[in-house]
Amino acid sequence: MKDVLWAQFAKDKRKPLLVLLLIVGSIAATLLFGGGLQSVTTVVIFSEEANAAEIEKKWGGLLNTNDTFTFEVVEPDKAREDIKKGNSDVAVKLMEDDYRLLVSKNMPSVSSVEQHVKKVFLQEAQIRAVESQEGGDVREEIESYLDDPPFQLVAQGLDSEQITAYNIRTQLLFAFTFLISMFLLGFKVNNVTQDKVAGIWDRMILSPLKKTNMYSGYLLYSFLITMFQIVVVLIVFKYVLQYDVGDNLWLIILIAACFTFGMISIAMLITGFVRTPEQFYAIYPSVIPVIPLVSGVYMMPGTITNPVLLFIADLFPLAHAMEAIMSVVFYGTGLQDVLMSLLYMLLIGIVAMGVGINLVERRSN
């Protein structure tokens, strides 16, 4: 097994470009489709009214009360040019009592900006309505009243005093990381078929190597290189890009390991149905992108309710892995709470691995 393992490592050592591109692809896909870095987002604001300076000063002070966004005044021409070129996702055009959003692309941050701006304008409209009825400046009185109201609503979770803040960016981080890892492990498992066609497999059979050691070498290397990709991506997002991936990183890595084993088994199962590496490259990359869609990992939890799609998703490890990881990241659950998901992934892996190796052997015979 050790000889087969080092032989596979030597291939990637000579040509490491594929592994490096897939690691970079995991990070780039999350940043591209997940709305960028988790940091304070700068949103440009401008006004084209006659008293533009006063409007910008007024609403700029009212809008800059959110820790997530910083509203910056720019010239109208520059704001429109940045929107046209795609340099900015959203810009806010201010009027005396209203606003308009200029959007270049529909990113997750756009809806968050819209919610905050709408809240600020609505609150200001309510204060003005009270002032018109009561007369005089009652703003300070209203703000003091809101800071310490007689009735206070406290939101509390079922199991803890703090309600968990769901973050779609964190979900997309794991979704794209697992998607890329499925391609990586599949290409490595396909080395079995490549070496069979090239005649290397037959030469290894004539050597003192046992078939168990031969399979173990291929599959163990696929597992190790895939886990290397996942761990590197998670470390980059957690410690470099400051993404919230939870406090229990080791449990997340354990879940990723069970997922990797399950998907390697699925790749081995597909290998059992093909005769050449080209057939594998035609089938596997066509099947893999469908799995995240069926599993709903790109959408909010609970979006997919069709029982048929849910049943199909449960046949693959991805749905169980995402459920377990979201539970660990957002709810701080431990090993005992995600144990059933781990067992499901291991069961899928054991069944698929047994059937896949059996099919490979039958084709060989």
- pLDDT for 256-273, tens place per residue? 999 999 999 999 898 888
pLDDT of 37 > 50? The answer is no
Tell the CATH topology of 41-147. D-Maltodextrin-Binding Protein; domain 2 (3.40.190)
Rounded mean pLDDT, 142-152: 67
Locate the domains of the chain by residue range.
2-34+166-364, 41-147
Rounded Cα distance, 317 and 139, in Å: 56
Q: Give the strands of the sheet with 69-73, arranged side by side.
A: 69-73, 41-47, 90-94, 99-103
pLDDT at res. 35: 53
Banded pLDDT at 156 (limits 50, 70, 90): low
Buried-exposed string 206-216: b where 16+ CB fall within 10 A, e elsewhere = eeeeeeeebbe
Q: Which of 169-173, 236-240, 309-313, 338-342 has the highest mean pLDDT?
A: 338-342
Q: How high does pLDDT run on average in the chain? A: 81
Percentage, residues of the chain above pLDDT 90: 14
Determine which of 22-36, 87-101, 282-296 has the lowest per-residue pLDDT on average. 22-36
pLDDT of 351 > 90? The answer is yes
pLDDT of 27 > 60? The answer is yes
Instruction: List beta partners, residue 44.
Output: 72, 91
Exposure of 124 by Cβ count < 10 A (0-12 exposed, 13-18 middle, 19+ buried)?
Answer: middle
215-230 confidence digits (pLDDT tens): 788 788 889 999 999 9
